[in-house]
Every structure is written in structure tokens, then in C-alpha cells.
Structure 1
Amino acid sequence: MTRRIVRTGFQLGILICIALFLVFFLDSRYRVLPQSVHSHLPLHNEGLIITDITVQTCSTLNPLSSCKLDQDKWHRVEKDLYLNSGWVSRAYVHIKRKREEELTDEDKVIVDVRIGKLDPAMGEKTQASEKWESRPAGVWLKRSSKRHASDSKTSVTAVDVLFGADVVEPRPGWELVTPGALRLDSGPEGREPRLSIRRGPPAKIEKPVPRIRKDGKFKIVQVSDLHLSTGPGACRDPEPKEHNGGKCDADPRTLDFVGRVLDEERPDLVVLSGDQVNGDTAPDVQTAIFKIVGLLADRKIPYAAIFGNHDDEGALSRVAQMSLYETLPFSLSEAGSNQIDGVGNYFVEVLAHGNKHSALTLYFLDTHSYSPDEAHFKGYDWIKPNQIDWFKTSAESNKDAHKHYTHIHLDMAFLHIPLPEYGDRGAEHKGAWLEGITAPGFNTHFKDALVEEGVKVVSCGHDHVNDYCLLSKNQRTAEGDLWMCYAGGSGFGGYGGYGGYHRRVRVFDVDANEARISTWKRLEYGDIASRIDEQVIVDAGKVVPLQHREHRS
């Protein structure tokens, strides 16, 4: 009898464990599906008014606990407030929403949201019809009758969740709910969930038109390998180690550096050349992207982004990220054709001053991530033949339009992963070459296509402590035919090391009047006003060899 009871108890225990596992597994699968479908993007459909907000918490150990409310009434923002790091807890923001024309006299709309322990009405005069209502996680809502639905200055029409004390909200019409993070029992350190709300209809985002300045100049700052995180992030290989008493938060230090360079250089365009996001430390990719976008939007600087191998290692795909970039202020980023490999194959025309003709064309290509054939070609992926065909077709098509430009037209290209030709140790180069290049093992000879179509400069990222420009030679004439440059790593969330390497960015200064391109770098530590390794790489529209004197100013 005792043996039977023990056996029955053991079997019951196994069944309970299996049930708990299935609940956790199925709930995880259920969570992943909406995240992949909606790509973690917020629920902010046009024409909808938010009528209620709540936070639903559930336990992964309790089969009866659910993180889903009645789906006929509530819509879930597909971001776990614990960022999937809670040992047993999950929590999600839910919203009720209605189309404006469907609102009845009994409906209330949200006109304000606060976060806190105490009623925000304490100490303020509030109408009886507009009292603050309490919701879980310290959320307080002020709701009013439907008459506010058409008032874009008061009615809340969209809700999103971002994370971290260093969170930035760059979207026009959006604002972070004050004074701080949602009040959960516990959560991932440094990644506190914050509500962001939009009032009224979505702001119209107009894509900027880059143009040569009146003095004939156009300046590009290339920022590569930011490796931003959700939350402040941890510094890797900070240099110098004793700076700021040894305290180093990766993202604040990185963004402070980039901001100082932008204020010093005042560029006309910023190129984000991949690995903006550190996939393994950015469970909310959107939050990480917003940090650099906020820095640029505040300064009203147009920017163009491509992806590196780490950007989509988190929860947001390249397609979803580029869809996000395309909606953000001052962005020139494009997904490009979905008929060719990769996301982010596109070009940007920089117009001449005073007319509509292109003076400079910038090509951007997706270099993908890891080798699809590791057995034969270890390491990284390569630019595909259909991308090369797209580039050549685009370049040839553009040449007809460029004939109308009265000066010499210039072309540049930007990638993340370097081309195999970057590894020519016998070629002239200027700058730091401290690590072996991690180019694809398979060469599709995109470099030859660049030369054939008249591109004079290509610049990449990826290898953080290489920052040189290398002059590729034409094998038939032994003359220089293409400058291949590195930006150097800018972010403290990515590796540095290699004997005291300081983070840096690359600057390209284009003089359209002289068809000249000069370049230099700025360092994170030391005299920010100093240019290092300054050189002229294109003059009168032609690639020029390395000048045998260093420029420092």
C-alpha cells in the first residue's frame, strides 16, 4: 500500500512537472509568435484612441496564471516588462482602444498618464470628472469623456514600452511618462521599463534632402560599431582604464564621445555603418536604436544606416529594424528591393547647391552576417551576385542623370564587413592595422564592380581596431583605383584592447568644387579637436596616392 502511494505520488509529481513545462513552453511559444509577427513594434495604429491601460503579471510556475487578457477587449504590447529575464514572472502592458467614430457617450479617453506610488492629484486641483485612476505597476490614468478624442493635444492615441534609465524618445509627438519606471516587484538591473505615449495623430515625417553647402563642401561622419545596449551597458576594454575613477558605463560614454564629435565637426550626414546594436545585451533593440537616433535628431543631422552581423542577434529582425528606421526623423535609411539578398541595399543622392542635379552618390549595401557555408568558407558572409547586379544597374542608370551636373560627379560606398582586398599587406595604407581582417572567405569580387562603376572610396566597419585607408592598385596599370577605408570602432560595448586603442570615428570632407575628398579621424580620449591621419584620397575626381607627410591640425 505504501509503495503504491509513493508510486502514485511520484507519477503525480512527474505529471505536474510536465504540465508546468508545457505551460511555460507554450506560453513562451505564444509570446514569441506575436513578437515575430509584430516585430516588437508598438501598437499605434492611426485613427485609434486609447481608452484604458493596465499591466498584467503572470507566473510561469502557475498553470492558471496568464499574461493575456480578454483579446476582444485588450491588446497587448508585445514586450515582456522583465525582458524575459524574470525567473518566474512575466508582465505586459495592455491597452483598450477604439476608433474615434466608435466612441460612445459612456466611453472615456486617456488624457494623461503618470507613474508613481502616490496619487498625482495630491497637491493639485482636479475636476471631479477627471480624477486619477490607479492601475497596477504604479500606473495612474486621468480619463475624460469622449469630447477630448478629437483634441490632439490631450488624447493619448498610442502606447509603447522602452527600457533603461538612459532611455531616449526621438519620435515627434511622443513623450516618456514621468517621473520614472514602472513599479515591478523586481526586474533586470539597469533596464527599467518606461511607458512612452503619443498624443494625437502620427507626426508627418519628411525625409531630408541632402545637399552640397554654399561653399561647395559636404561633410560625412562615419560612426561604426556603436554596440549599444538596453540600459547603460558594460564597457569592454575601456581605455584609459582609470578614466573617471575607473567607472565606465558603455552607452553614456559612447554617446558622449559621438555627441562631442558631431558638435565639433557639424557634419551634413552621418553614416551608421553597422553593429549599432549589441544583440546579446539589447533584448529591446528599439530602445538601443533610439539612443543614437535621439542624438542625431536633437542636432537635426540626416543619417543613413546599414546593418552589421550583431544588429539582428536580438529580438528584432533586419526587416523590422529597417521599417523602424524608415519612420524616424532625419533618416535616409531604406530597406531597398526585397527581390535581392539583404536588407538595406540603397543609394542616396546628394544634390548640388542651388539645383536638383546630383553631385555625390552614396551607395549602401548589406554585407549580411555569418558564412552560409562554414565548411568551405569560414567566418563571414559575402555580397551576393544579385546585389552586385543591382549595384551595377543602379550605377549605370544614375550616370545618365549625372551627366547634367556641371562639375565632376563623385561616388562613394559604405559596407559593414570588409572586402577580401582589404587584406593586401603590400598596398599603401595609412592608419592603424592592429588585427587581422575578418573578411569573407569567398570573394565575389565586388571590389572590381566598384572600380568599374567609378566609385573612388569604399569604407567599412566590423574590425574595431583597424582604422586604416588602403590604396588598391589596378593590376594592369599599377595606378591607384580605389581607396578602401575603415571607420574604427566607436562603441565601448564592443571590444577594444590591443594595447591602448582609443575609440574613434572617421570623417570624410567632400569638396564638390574641386572634386576632392579628404579624410581624417577623431579620437574619444584626448584632444577632441585634433585630427589624426588626415589625407587627401581623391582630387579632381581621381584617386591620388598616399601623401608622404602627415597632417595634424
Structure 2
Amino acid sequence: MTRRIVRTGVQLGLLASIVFLLVFFLDNRYRVLPQSIHSHLPLHHEGLVITDITVQTCSTLNPISKCKLDQDKWHRVEKDLYLGTGWVSKAYVHIKRKKEEELTDEDKVIIDVRTGKMDPAMNEKSQASEKWESRPAGVWIKRSAKRHTSDSRKAVTAVDVLFGSDAADPRPGWELVQNGALRLDTGGDNKEPRLTIRRGQPHKIEKPVPRIRKDGKFKILQVSDLHLSTGLGTCRDPEPKEHNGGHCDADIRTLEFVERVLDDEKPDLVVLSGDQVNGDTAPDVQTAIFKIVDALAERKIPYAAIFGNHDDEGTLSRSAQMSLYESLPYSLCDAGPNTIEGVGNYYVEILAHGANKHSAITLYFLDTHSYSPDEAHFKGYDWIKPKQITWFKDTAERLKESHAHYTHTHLNMAFIHIPLPEYGIKENEYVGTWKERVTAPGFNTHFKDALVEQGIKAVSCGHDHVNDYCMLSKDPKSGEGELWMCYAGGSGFGGYGGYEGYHRRLRVFEIDTNQARISTWKRLEYGDTGSRLDEQVIVDSGKVLPPQSQ
């Protein structure tokens, strides 16, 4: 009998171990991804409608106080409304949702959301059949008991949170809730939380197809080092200091500058060449990214983005940010192959005018990473890796056959964030401003040689805010020009810029496919804002030209 009991005990123990391992496996197999990965994604699914919203606050000092409601009924938007700055409190938006086909006649569906101290009905001229219902943090919801409302465009189907009075939402079908921020004491740091809602089902986002204009031209505006924040941002080195009475909100001034140039130049494509986000001042990266994308989407301008060394110093990884970019309207962004280092190694084909399917221009985008992985031997910044160079060369070789069918001269350009070591060769001729040390990698993988080998006529970077020159690299044997290496210059007031009255700027490239010509110039934020600074033809008839006398 004793042996039987022991044997049974052992069997039960083994069974318990198996059950434990199975539960452990399933728990990890289907574990929710970390907040840093998915916090940019709103809580919504196709076919679901929102039936209630609330805000749950908890104390960080009280271990019993929890910021999660019954998870069988409520779903939490994974953004602390205090952005981690609350001394004693955290707060989260929670939503109730239900599948449309499961709605009963008793269910109510949210058809409108407002925020504020007073009942929104007080400002409405006519009396609606549905009444406004109060929720914590100044949230007001209007719900309809009519089931058919869920199929209309009025039904709220997704809820998200953005931050700051300058928040914008570029996603089709989404809108920021009227009357401003949630009523929470966030300390007046200009990062107050705001609700944004979507009505109806998700809009299908299709990538635009960039084409040469009827006149044979194509214009690219390179926007680098925006250094956008969550909230208004703090200005660094504004010039002139007395502008606007000395008052400067970084993101507002930056975006006003960018939008003015967008409207003046009317580019066919915008290249965001890194450090769009100022990582240490953007506790909600999504809010920062949305601000520049909203300006582009409003004007229906396609854009391509790469990362700088500051973009992923906030709450979202490079992969999560690229996933976000890929989901937004007018985006040409691509994570690129996952078999090589970096996120955002890709290319964009600019097609010939009309219905022509031939590529007229190829633009290559590469991730230059962040900081040196070997600081002891190579201080400063990281470098483009050999696998990336191999990918670039293989891709360029593969595309040559199709490019040969284009009736004009096919042109190639490349964009990176951190400059190549060759940018620092002082013996080379250059046009523009060289005010600071070139902070290129200490280790040279000779990507410049690969660019020349594959017929790239110009490469342009960001990173060094107050360098804005274009430098000519020459063939050491013939002495002829082989590649132009350009800087965009810094555009954002959230990043440094204080070198002898330096004004923020943007770089423009205009490609004339009829002449196989590339021209470039810069636009200033202050001063002679309407002029083309340092305008140069850098490529003509498909050949790299030397600097022209001014």
C-alpha cells in the first residue's frame, strides 16, 4: 500500500510539473508584448464598438491601489496619463467594447466624446434625445441605445491618448476630442493628456506611387533633426534670441518653419533624415511623430523616414516606430530586410511621368545606427555595417537591368543620418557652411566607395546641425568629381544650433529628368527666408559637376 501511495504521489507530481510547464509555455507563447513595443497601437479591432469610457487613477504609494479594472470587462489604453511624472499617482483610460453582432437592444454605443468641466449640453442649441454622461477626469460621453447606430459613421470604434496642446492626429477617421485636455493635475508642463477617437472601421492605407511631374522635374525636401517633443518642447539656442519677444516654443516654431517651406516649395517628396524625435523630451513618441506626419498628410505629400541616434532614446524602439510610420497615410517608409543590421534599410523608386512603370530615380535609405559599439577603440558614433553595404550593392546591381529600359538617364541618390568619415576631408572643395566638427564614425567601412561604384551621384545626411555644406569627392586618379556629399542642416529648435547666429534650415533637391540634372539649395527659418541659399547644379547630363562660382 505504501509503495502504491508513493507511486501515485510521484505520478501526481509529474502531472503537476507537466501542467506547470504547459501553462508556462502557453503563458509565454501568448504573452502580451512589452508596452514599449505596442504602446503606439490604439485599442481597437475591426467589428468592435466602444460602449463606455472611464479613467482609473491609482496611488503609487498604496500597494492595494490598482490602475487596472476588471480585465474581463475593461481594456486599458497602455499610456500613463501622467507620463510617469506623477509623484503619487498614475492614471489610465479604460474602455468597454463589444462586437457589433453581439449588441443587444439594451446596449448603448458611444456616438460622441467631449472633455471639460461643464455638461456639453449647455452649449448645444437644440436638445438631443441622448444625454451627456459624466465620467472621471472631465470626460463626457454621449451614448445611443439604438442598435443600428453601431453601423453608422457616428459610432466610436477606437480610443487613443495623445499629449500636449499642439497634439495632432494624422490617421484617417481619427479626431482629437473637442474642448481640450483631460482634467488631471499634470503640473502644467504642456504635456496634458488628450483623447483622440475614431469613428467607423479602420481606413485602408495604401502607399503612394511617387512620379516625375509633367515638366520632367521632381523636388525633394530634406528635413533633418527636427527634435520634436511630447508637448510644446523647449527651445535650444534660438536665433535671433529676441524674436517674438523672446518667447519660443520649440515644436511650434519648428513646424511653422517647415510648413512655410512646404507651401512655398511644394515638394513631391519629403525625406525625414533622422532625429525626428528628441528622445529625452518625448515620453510619448507617438505624439511627437504625429505632429510632422500631420503636416505632410494634410498637404498629401509622400515621405520617407530614417532614424538618427536620438529617435529611439524615448519610449519606442526603432522597430516600433517604423511600424508606426508604415501604418500612416502618405508613408513610403519600410523596415527593410531583417537579415541585416538596422531598421529602415530600403529604397524608393520614383517612376517616370504618366502611366509609365519605368523608374526614373532611385533613392536609397540606410540606417546609420547610433553610438559606437566599441567606444574604447572608436569613440563617438556607429557605422554602416558590411552586411548593409552588401545589401546595398546587391540591390543596386539587381535594379540595373530594369533601369536600363528607362529612355532617359536614370539617376540615383542616397540618404543617411550620421555623416561618412569622408565628409571631414578638409582638402575637398565644398559649398556652404562648415561651423562644427564632423561627428562621423571613427571606423570607416568605406561605404562611400560603394556609393561611387554603384553610380550614386549625391548622398545627404543630417546629424551635425550647423554644418550645411555640400562637399565634392573626387576620383583620386582622374581628379574628376565622383560624388557630392551634402548636409541638410538642422531644422528643429528642440536641438542645438547656437554657432554664431546660425539659423535653422532645410535642404531642397530638384531633379530635372529631361536634363539628367540635380540642383540643390537651402531655405532659412529667419532672415532672407524667400531666397535660395547656396544654389548649385551638382549633376548635369548625369555627370557630377565641380562647384560653381557664386
The reply to whether TM is greater than 0.5 is yes
* Structure 2 equivalent of residue 410 of structure 1: 411
CA distance in 1, matches of 2:471, 2:363: 19
CA distance in 1, matches of 2:57, 2:484: 56
Q: Secondary structure at the match of 1:533?
A: strand
* Structure 1 equivalent of residue 242 of structure 2: 242
| Aligned pairs (5 A) from 1:359-508 | 359-508=360-509
Matched letter for residue 428 of structure 1: E
CA displacement 1:213-249 (0-9 Å, x = unmatched): 1111100010000000111111100000111111111
CA distance in 2, matches of 1:379, 1:207: 36
Query: In the TM superposition, what is the alpha-carbon distance from 1:44 to its structure 2 partner?
Result: 2.2
**Given that residues 103 and 147 in structure 2 are in contact (C-alpha distance below 8 angstroms), is that contact kept between their aligned partners in structure 1?**
no
Q: Does 2:539 correspond to 1:544?
A: no
* Structure 1 equivalent of residue 36 of structure 2: 36
CA displacement 1:353-399 (0-9 Å, x = unmatched): 12111000000001110111111111111111111111111101111
Q: Secondary structure at the match of 2:122?
A: coil
| Aligned pairs (5 A) from 1:255-404 | 255-354=255-354, 355-404=356-405
**Given that residues 115 and 139 in structure 1 are in contact (C-alpha distance below 8 angstroms), is that contact kept between their aligned partners in structure 2?**
yes
CA distance in 1, matches of 2:39, 2:347: 25
**Given that residues 40 and 324 in structure 2 are in contact (C-alpha distance below 8 angstroms), is that contact kept between their aligned partners in structure 1?**
no
Q: Secondary structure at the match of 2:294?
A: helix
* Structure 2 equivalent of residue 139 of structure 1: 139
Q: Secondary structure at the match of 1:421?
A: helix
CA displacement 1:66-90 (0-9 Å, x = unmatched): 1111111111111110111111110
**Given that residues 148 and 155 in structure 1 are in contact (C-alpha distance below 8 angstroms), is that contact kept between their aligned partners in structure 2?**
no
Matched letter for residue 201 of structure 2: P
Q: Secondary structure at the match of 1:98?
A: strand
Matched letter for residue 227 of structure 2: H
Query: In the TM superposition, what is the alpha-carbon distance from 1:109 to its structure 2 partner?
Result: 1.1
CA distance in 2, matches of 1:218, 1:290: 26
CA distance in 1, matches of 2:105, 2:187: 40
Q: Secondary structure at the match of 1:316?
A: coil
**Residue range with higher mean Cα deviation, 65-74 or 36-45:** 36-45
Matched letter for residue 87 of structure 1: W
CA displacement 1:296-318 (0-9 Å, x = unmatched): 11111111110000001000111
* Structure 2 equivalent of residue 198 of structure 1: 198
Q: Does 2:110 correspond to 1:110?
A: yes
CA displacement 1:260-296 (0-9 Å, x = unmatched): 1111111111100000000011111111111111111
CA distance in 2, matches of 1:37, 1:102: 31
Matched letter for residue 545 of structure 2: V
**Given that residues 472 and 480 in structure 1 are in contact (C-alpha distance below 8 angstroms), is that contact kept between their aligned partners in structure 2?**
yes
Matched letter for residue 455 of structure 2: G
**Given that residues 459 and 484 in structure 1 are in contact (C-alpha distance below 8 angstroms), is that contact kept between their aligned partners in structure 2?**
yes
Q: Secondary structure at the match of 1:375?
A: coil
Q: Secondary structure at the match of 1:121?
A: helix
Matched letter for residue 406 of structure 2: Y
Q: How many residues align?
A: 517
Matched letter for residue 374 of structure 1: E
CA distance in 1, matches of 2:148, 2:442: 61
Query: In the TM superposition, what is the alpha-carbon distance from 1:186 to its structure 2 partner?
Result: 3.4
Identity %: 79
CA distance in 2, matches of 1:506, 1:121: 50
**Residue range with higher mean Cα deviation, 32-41 or 410-419:** 32-41
* Structure 1 equivalent of residue 57 of structure 2: 57
Query: In the TM superposition, what is the alpha-carbon distance from 1:33 to its structure 2 partner?
Result: 6.7
Matched letter for residue 528 of structure 1: T
CA distance in 2, matches of 1:63, 1:126: 45
**Given that residues 234 and 248 in structure 1 are in contact (C-alpha distance below 8 angstroms), is that contact kept between their aligned partners in structure 2?**
yes
CA distance in 2, matches of 1:126, 1:383: 63
CA distance in 2, matches of 1:229, 1:180: 19
CA displacement 1:462-487 (0-9 Å, x = unmatched): 00000000001112222111100000
Query: In the TM superposition, what is the alpha-carbon distance from 1:37 to its structure 2 partner?
Result: 4.2
TM-score, normalization by structure 2: 0.92
CA distance in 2, matches of 1:400, 1:445: 25
Matched letter for residue 211 of structure 1: R
CA distance in 1, matches of 2:379, 2:109: 57
Matched letter for residue 450 of structure 1: L
Q: Secondary structure at the match of 1:507?
A: strand
CA distance in 2, matches of 1:449, 1:249: 42
* Structure 1 equivalent of residue 186 of structure 2: 186
The 1:186–1:232 alpha-carbon spacing in structure 2 relative to 1, beyond 3 Å, is closer
Query: In the TM superposition, what is the alpha-carbon distance from 1:104 to its structure 2 partner?
Result: 2.4
Matched letter for residue 197 of structure 1: I
Query: In the TM superposition, what is the alpha-carbon distance from 1:102 to its structure 2 partner?
Result: 2.2
CA distance in 2, matches of 1:401, 1:123: 62
CA distance in 1, matches of 2:453, 2:170: 40
CA distance in 2, matches of 1:427, 1:108: 70
The 1:386–1:232 alpha-carbon spacing in structure 2 relative to 1, beyond 3 Å, is same
* Structure 2 equivalent of residue 526 of structure 1: 527
**Given that residues 37 and 320 in structure 2 are in contact (C-alpha distance below 8 angstroms), is that contact kept between their aligned partners in structure 1?**
no
CA displacement 1:121-176 (0-9 Å, x = unmatched): 23544455x22111100001111125245434110000000010111111110011
Q: Does 2:229 correspond to 1:218?
A: no
**Given that residues 157 and 201 in structure 2 are in contact (C-alpha distance below 8 angstroms), is that contact kept between their aligned partners in structure 1?**
yes
| Aligned pairs (5 A) from 1:53-92 | 53-92=53-92
**Residue range with higher mean Cα deviation, 469-478 or 431-440:** 469-478
Query: In the TM superposition, what is the alpha-carbon distance from 1:40 to its structure 2 partner?
Result: 3.5
Q: Secondary structure at the match of 1:122?
A: helix
Q: Secondary structure at the match of 1:141?
A: strand
* Structure 2 equivalent of residue 11 of structure 1: none
Query: In the TM superposition, what is the alpha-carbon distance from 1:47 to its structure 2 partner?
Result: 2.0
Matched letter for residue 107 of structure 1: D
Matched letter for residue 169 of structure 1: D
CA distance in 2, matches of 1:450, 1:88: 54
Structure 1: gaps of 5 or more residues: 1-31
CA distance in 2, matches of 1:168, 1:305: 19
CA distance in 2, matches of 1:72, 1:358: 52
**Given that residues 104 and 146 in structure 1 are in contact (C-alpha distance below 8 angstroms), is that contact kept between their aligned partners in structure 2?**
no
CA distance in 1, matches of 2:369, 2:284: 21
**Given that residues 268 and 302 in structure 2 are in contact (C-alpha distance below 8 angstroms), is that contact kept between their aligned partners in structure 1?**
yes
Structure 2: gaps of 5 or more residues: 1-31
